[in-house]
Structure 1
Amino acid sequence: MHRPVDPILTVAQMRAAEQTLIDSGETVWTLMQRAGHGAADIIWRICAGRSVTVLTGPGNNGGDGYVIAESLRRRGAPVKVIAAFDPKTEAAQQARAEYQGEFAEGAEGEVFVDSLFGSGLTRGLGTELADRVRHLAARHRLCVAIDLPSGVESDHAAPLDPDLPHYDCTISLGAWKCAHWMMPAMEMMGRRELVPIGIGETEHVARLFPKPELTVPSRNAHKYSRGLLALVGGEMPGAGVLAAQAAMRSGAGYVKLFSDTPPSSLPAELVIDRSDLDEALDDHRLSALAIGPGLGRSGRSRNRLAATLGRDVPTLCDADALVLLRPAMLEGRKSPVIFTPHAGELDRLFTSFDTPEGGRLERLLSLARASGAVIVAKGPDTIVAAPDGRVAISPPAPSWLSVAGTGDVLAGIIASRLATGCSAMDAACQGVWLHGEAACQAGAVFTAGELVSAIRSAYAACL
C-alpha cells in the first residue's frame, strides 16, 4: 500500500502550510484568488446558471466569497452578496473592491454559498448570526459551504451552535481539515470537494488513506508463504468462525481456528485445531494471531489472551480481548500489535493505559504510544493511529455496517493482511478500506455473513 497522500490539517498546520507558500513568494491575495476561482469552478457546475447568494464574513474566508461571487458574475450567473461584516483583512478588502455585482440584505434563490467563517472559528456564531445562516439555508434549494460550514470548530469537528444547517457540498480550500472527516461535524458536509492551492508534502499530519494497491500471489507462492493466520477462539465460537471466514478471503494463504468448542456447522475450508492452546501456539510457522471475537470474559478467557500475547508474533486484539487486556500482558513484546476497539472498548483502553485527556486525535496517539499498538478506533469516522505518530482517517463507509458481526469481519480482514507480511499500519488501513468497500458491494440491508461474501469483490477492486 502506498503511503497516504491527502493530508488532513489542523488549523495551526494549515496556517503553517500557507505561511510556507508565502515565504516562497506567494501572497495572501494570490492564494485567495487561487482558492476562490477553484471554488467558483465547482459552484458554477452546481448552479448551472441559476441564482447564487454569497454570505461573506470579515476575514479571508469572506474574501474568498467575494472572489467566488465576482468569478460567477463574470460567467453570467445571477449573484448577490450579503455582507454580514465589513472586511477586516487587506486581502478581503481588495476582494470586495474588485467585486462588481449586487449586494443585498436578504435573499432567496437556488444556491446559498456560506463564506461567513472558515476553519479558524473557535466560538459560536451567537443567536443572531446562527439564525441568519439557518434562514438563508432554508430559503435556497442547495447549500454550499466554503472551507467549512460556519459555526464548526475544525480541529475537534464540533458544531459550536445548535441546529446548524446541513450542506449539499463543502469545498475545502488548500487541504482537508479534521472536521471534514470526523464526527459529529462530518455529517453536515454533504459532498466534499478539495481545491488545491499549492500546498506540498506535509510531514507529521493526519492523512486520508486511499484505496490499497494489492497484488496477486507470485507464481511460486504456497499457503505458508502467503501467511498462516491463527484465530484464537473462546466461549462463543460463532464469532471466531465469522472472523476466520473473512480472513480466508483477505489474502492469507492458510487460516486456522484454535478452538476446543467449535460450532457444529463449519466451512469445509476452515481448519480447526482442538489441541491444547499452548501447544498450538508453539507452531513456528505462524505469521500472525488474532484474538477477541467470541473470546468471552472468564478467567479461562483471560488466560488464553495472556498465552496468545506471550507469543512474540504479530497479533490483533479485538472485542473481549480488549476488555480483558492489561498493560502488563504486553511487556517484552517486540512484534506489532493492533487493537480494534469500538467506542466503549476504547474508553476502557484509555483508562487501562492511563491516557491523558485531550482531543480525540491526541488521545488516540497517546494510547498508541503508551501501548505500542496500532489503534483502529472503529466508528462512522474510523481513525487509525500508530505509535510513531502516524494517523490515517478512513473515508466514511456505508452506515449499513451497523449490524452485529461486522466488527468480527473487520478483525478477520485486518489480521489476514497482517499475516501476509504487511506492517501493522498498512494492515489496519487496508483492512478498513476493504471492509468499507465490501459494504458498498453488499448493498443495502446485509448480514455479517453477506458482508463476508462481498470481500472478494472489494479485494478485486484493488488489483
Structure 2
Amino acid sequence: MGRLQQTLSNVSDETGRDNGRVGIVGGSVAYPNQPALVGQAALRTGSDHVRAFVCEPIYEIVASHSPNLLVDHHGHDEFYDGAIERTREVSEWADAFVIGPGLVDADPDAVREVIDRIEIPIIVDALAIEPALEADLSNAILTPSGAEDDPIYEAYGSLETFSEETGAVITLTGDVDEIVAEGERIENETGTSALTVAGTGDTMAGIMASLLGQGMDRREAAELGAWILGKTGELATAEYGPGVVATDVIERIPNTIR
C-alpha cells in the first residue's frame, strides 16, 4: 500500500468513518461544468458519494457528466435565498462541503448565510470568497487564486492576519501553491506550469473536500490536497505535455495516491 493510501486508511480507521460524502453548490449558465469537475475529483480521491446542488438551467449538463454523481437542482437561474434550506439539508447529509466554483451571479447574502449555517468543514472557492468574509470561517478552507485574494487583503492586510483572526485556512493557488494557517505560510513542493489550465482549481477543491470528508483536519487536508494536485499534474504532464486538461489530471489522482 502506498504512503498516501496508508495515510487515508489510518484517518478512516481512527475516526470510524467510511470514505465520506461531499456536497457541492456551484455552477451557473456561464460556468456549468465546474460542479462536475469538483465532484469527479472528490470521487477519484476516494469519497463514497458526491451530491451537486445546482441551478435548474444547468442540471442536465452536470448530471450528464457522470452516472457516479448525484445531482439535484433548485428551481431558479442562480443561487438565491430560496435555496438556503435545501443547501442546509445537503450539508446535513454530507461530511464536507464545497461552495463557489462557477457560482456566478449568486445572491451574496444567501451565500453568506449558507456558510454561516453549515456546520461541517467547508471549502469556499472563487466568487463565494468575498461574501464569505463576513461569515464564520472557523471550519473553512478558502481557495483563492492570485486574482481572487484582493478582498482578503483589503479587509485584513495579509493572509496571515486573516488566518489568525478568523481561524480559516487558505490555499493560495498560483505558480507555487501556498498554504496559510494560524499565521504561518508554507509552499507546496509539487506542481507544473500546466496546472494553470482551466478546471484545476475545481479539481483542487474536490480533492481537499474529499480529504476533509474522510476525516482529515483542515490544515492537513490543505497541505496534502495541494501536494496531490501538484503530483497528479506532473503525472499528466509527463504523458500529455502542454496539452493537459483538467480531466486528465482528475483521472490520474488514484495513481498519485497509490
TM-score (norm 2): 0.81
SS, match of residue 7 in structure 2: coil
Question: How is 1:66-145 mapped onto 2 (pairs within 5 angstroms)?
Answer: none
**Counterpart check, 1:368 vs 2:163:** yes
Q: Taking structure 1 as reference, are residues 442 and 268 closer, same or farther at Cα in structure 2, changes over 3 Å only?
A: same
Distance in 2, matches of 1:242 and 1:230, equals 13
- Which string of whole-angstrom CA distances, capped at 9 and with x for unpartnered residues, describes residues 197-218 of structure 1? xxxxxxxxxxxxx979634489
- Contact 1:273/1:280, CA 8 A, preserved across alignment: no
Return the structure number with greater relative CO, CA threshold 8 A, min gap 6.
2
Aligned residue type for 2:89: D
- Contact 2:24/2:53, CA 8 A, preserved across alignment: yes
Question: How is 1:143-222 mapped onto 2 (pairs within 5 angstroms)?
Answer: 214-216=7-9
Distance in 1, matches of 2:127 and 2:41, equals 19
Distance in 2, matches of 1:394 and 1:367, equals 20
Q: Which residue of 1 aligns with 2:105?
A: 297
In structure 2, stretches of 5+ residues that fail to align are 75-82
Distance in 2, matches of 1:391 and 1:310, equals 28
How far 1:308 moved relative to its partner? 3.6
Q: Which residue of 1 aligns with 2:189?
A: 395
CA RMSD of aligned residues (A): 2.7
How far 1:302 moved relative to its partner? 4.6
Question: How is 1:24-35 mapped onto 2 (pairs within 5 angstroms)?
Answer: none
- Which string of whole-angstrom CA distances, capped at 9 and with x for unpartnered residues, describes residues 59-113 of structure 1? xxxxxxxxxxxxxxxxxxxxxxxxxxxxxxxxxxxxxxxxxxxxxxxxxxxxxxx
Distance in 2, matches of 1:256 and 1:229, equals 6
State which of 398, 408, 411 in structure 1 corresponds to 2:205: 411
- Contact 1:237/1:263, CA 8 A, preserved across alignment: no
Q: Taking structure 1 as reference, are residues 217 and 252 closer, same or farther at Cα in structure 2, changes over 3 Å only?
A: farther
Q: Across the two proteins, how many residue pairs are aligned to each other?
A: 235
Q: Taking structure 1 as reference, are residues 229 and 403 closer, same or farther at Cα in structure 2, changes over 3 Å only?
A: same
Largest Rg, 1 or 2 = 1
Question: How is 1:194-273 mapped onto 2 (pairs within 5 angstroms)?
Answer: 214-216=7-9, 225-235=18-28, 236-261=31-56, 262-264=59-61, 265-273=64-72
Aligned residue type for 2:52: L
Q: Which residue of 2 aligns with 1:347?
A: 150
**More helix by percentage:** 2
Q: Which residue of 1 aligns with 2:122?
A: 315
State which of 118, 128, 135 in structure 2 corresponds to 1:329: 135
SS, match of residue 22 in structure 2: strand
- Contact 2:163/2:169, CA 8 A, preserved across alignment: yes
Aligned residue type for 1:441: L
In structure 1, stretches of 5+ residues that fail to align are 1-209, 356-362
- Contact 1:211/1:433, CA 8 A, preserved across alignment: no
Q: Which residue of 1 aligns with 2:94?
A: 286
SS, match of residue 458 in structure 1: helix
Runs of 4+ in structure 1 deviating by more than 6 angstroms, as ranges, are 217-220
